[in-house]
Amino acid sequence: MWLPGGTVARKSVKRKLPAKRRAAGKANTAARKTAARAAATRKNRKARTPKPPTPSKISSAAALIRGTASGALSALAERLPWGAREADPIRLLEADHRRFESLLKAGEGTTARAAKTRTKVLDTLTSELNLHELLEEQALYPALAPHAETREIVLEGYQEHHVADLIVGELYDLATSDEQWGPKFKVLKENIEHHIEEEERDMFKKARAVLTREELAALATTMRTLRADARKPKRART
Q: How far is the CB of 81 from Fe ion (least distance, A)?
A: 17
- Cβ nearer to Fe ion, comparing 33 with 208: 208
User: If you write DSSP's letter for every residue of 82-97 in order, what string do you get?
Assistant: PPTT---HHHHHHHHH
- 103 or 199, CB closer to Fe ion? 199
Residue 63: C-alpha distances to residues 60, 76, 91, 129, 177 (Å): 5, 10, 24, 20, 23
Three-class DSSP category at 8: strand
* Closest approach of Fe ion to the CB of residue 180, in Å: 25
Phi and psi at 81, nearest 5°, equal -80, 165
For the chain, give the longest Cα–Cα distance. 110
Identity of the residue, 37 or 151, whose beta carbon is nearer to Fe ion in the bound complex: 151
> For residues 121 and 129, which CB has a smaller minimum distance to Fe ion in the complex?
129
Query: What is the rounded distance in angstroms from the CA atom of residue 31 to the CA atom of residue 228?
Result: 62
Nearest approach in angstroms of CB 141 to Fe ion is: 8
Shorter beta-carbon distance to Fe ion: residue 107 or 136: 136
Query: 212: which DSSP letter?
Result: -
| Chain positions contacting Fe ion, by CB under 5 A | 136, 199
Q: What angle do CA 103, 106, 110 make, to 5 degrees?
A: 140
CB of 112 to Fe ion, least distance (A): 30
Q: How far is the CA of 230 from the CAs of 15, 105, 118, 125, 220, in angstroms? A: 81, 26, 24, 15, 15
How crowded is residue 154: how many other Cβ atoms within 10 Å of its Cβ?
A: 22
Cβ 164 to Fe ion shortest distance, Å: 8
Cβ atoms of 120 and 72 within 8 Å: the answer is yes
Please say which residue, 61 or 199, places its beta carbon nearer to Fe ion: 199
Closest distance to Fe ion from the beta carbon of 135 (Å): 8
